[in-house]
Structure 1
Amino acid sequence: MEQVKVLGTWTSPFSARVLIGLEEKGVKYEYQEEVLSNKSDFLLQMNPVYKKIPILIHNGQPICESLVILQYIDETWDSKQITPSKPYDRALARFWADFIDKKFFSQSRSLSLRLTGDDIEQDKHDTLENLKILEGALRNMSGGGSLPFFGGEDFGFLDIAIIPFASWFQTFEYFGNFKIPLETEYPLLNAWVKRCMERESIKKVLPSPDRILQAGILQAKNYLAQK
């Protein structure tokens, strides 16, 4: 019998990518919640190089890094195609997924880590600028907004790579003490988020923005208590 297991943590958008991919493919899996401050021996055994989640374990074999895992899921289970069929479209999707990880999230995440200081103003500016860039990318990839998803007509790889971060917008706003004007400044992204949130895979996997925010507040309190 095929065995599929995911090691992750519920607050992680990277873990969410893996679970959404499996849900979209209709793959049955076992999920193990990890506490990153006290990583299990199993996690360290499955990912001895980076020692982090998410990890997909397929018939005893571990696959690490969320975008790598998404590609593996698509190549292993053929119930539906997640990645674009054309080489250029695949390269474009991977480029923007890399942008999300290396620019958007790395800069926006700092808002919930820097509680004070001048750098927070730069983080807010960068977050809004990166959203503007994503709005432009969605416009170009969806025919000016005539297509519903980053992948065109079908919900796919890049949509899965980006949508988990929408649950973090409220947390960014709270810690940055600013507003992300999705409806007025980023209308295509706003409409895309709403469409994605209607999918059963998203409803099942993504935590609510309120739950993410409460976890962030608790983390901040614990951080300040230790200083």
Structure 2
Amino acid sequence: MVDVKLLGLWYNPFSHRVEWALKIKGVEYEYIEDDLHNKSSLLLESNPIHKKVPVLIHNGKPICESMVIVEYIDETFEGPSILPKDPYDRAIARFWAKFLDDKMAAVGKSFFLKGEEQEKAKEEAYEILKILDNELKDKKLFVGDKFGFADIAANFMGIWVEVFEEASGVVLVTCHTPKPDVMARAQTPPDT
């Protein structure tokens, strides 16, 4: 019997964060696709505050918010560490994860706003991408030599920015970043 369930959505980058953490740890789980236009009673009971995915249910107890869930998975299940063991590296990984979460909305706005507001959002998104490009330079990963916490947090950038570019016609990565492959590195989940 599976005692781990993930309420998610196939196109939700936050759900992918949790799936990648479960994959790294080798945890078997039941995936339950939710419909955000017709939210299930399980979702509403499990996340009554935000009423959104992802939600991890472990032994009947719900955990909400993707990066909180990732830390829970890292602390609860056997397998390779997601957060670095070194306290300094762990702090740096948490810093980049928070930076990415704080700035993700600005990148999203650049695709959905119009006119002057969109141009302002595009400039902010470009500055964020420059910061990430500078941080990664010739590195494949944010901290250390294995895919981890900050890399999981960055999945939105790697997976969805180019999808939104193509769908909306708004270009951020391919024309602006000096090294477009920086975002491409986050497109592939870790091998386990």
Between the aligned partners of 1:43 and 1:31, the Cα distance in structure 2 is 13
Aligned residue number for residue 125 of structure 1: 123
Between the aligned partners of 2:115 and 2:71, the Cα distance in structure 1 is 39
Aligned residue number for residue 15 of structure 2: 15
Identical amino acids, percent of aligned pairs: 45
Q: Secondary structure at the match of 1:160?
A: helix
Q: Secondary structure at the match of 1:7?
A: strand
Between the aligned partners of 2:40 and 2:5, the Cα distance in structure 1 is 15
Shift of 1:111: 2.9
Aligned residue number for residue 149 of structure 1: 141
Aligned residue number for residue 159 of structure 1: 151
AA in 2 matched with 1:197: T
Aligned residue number for residue 59 of structure 1: 59
Between the aligned partners of 2:105 and 2:81, the Cα distance in structure 1 is 29
Between the aligned partners of 1:81 and 1:63, the Cα distance in structure 2 is 19
Give unpaired runs (5+ residues) of structure 1: 140-144, 202-227
Aligned residue number for residue 48 of structure 2: 48
The number of aligned residues is 191
Aligned residue number for residue 109 of structure 2: 110
2:128 pairs with 1:136: no
Q: Deviations over 1:79-102 (max 9, x none)?
A: 111101122211111111111111
CA RMSD, Structure 1 to Structure 2 (Å): 2.2
2:185 pairs with 1:192: yes
Task: Evaluate the alpha carbon distance shift between residue 101 and residue 184 of structure 1 in structure 2; reply closer, same or farther with a 3 A threshold.
Answer: closer
Task: Evaluate the alpha carbon distance shift between residue 83 and residue 30 of structure 1 in structure 2; reply closer, same or farther with a 3 A threshold.
Answer: same
Q: Deviations over 1:48-99 (max 9, x none)?
A: 1111111000010101100000000000112111101122211111111111
Q: Secondary structure at the match of 1:32?
A: strand
Q: Deviations over 1:140-196 (max 9, x none)?
A: xxxxx2x53212211111111112431212234242532523796036615634xx6
Task: Evaluate the alpha carbon distance shift between residue 93 and residue 81 of structure 1 in structure 2; reply closer, same or farther with a 3 A threshold.
Answer: same
Structure 2 matches for 1:170-181, cutoff 5 A? 170-174=162-166, 175=168, 177-181=170-174
Give yes or no for contact 1:108–1:172 (8 Å, CA) kept in 2: no
Between the aligned partners of 1:154 and 1:66, the Cα distance in structure 2 is 20
Structure 2 matches for 1:68-83, cutoff 5 A? 68-83=68-83
Give yes or no for contact 1:7–1:53 (8 Å, CA) kept in 2: yes
Specify which structure has the higher proportion of helix: 1
Between the aligned partners of 1:60 and 1:153, the Cα distance in structure 2 is 35
Between the aligned partners of 1:93 and 1:198, the Cα distance in structure 2 is 17
Give unpaired runs (5+ residues) of structure 2: none
Task: Evaluate the alpha carbon distance shift between residue 182 and residue 83 of structure 1 in structure 2; reply closer, same or farther with a 3 A threshold.
Answer: farther
Between the aligned partners of 1:97 and 1:2, the Cα distance in structure 2 is 29
AA in 1 matched with 2:162: Q
Q: Secondary structure at the match of 1:20?
A: helix
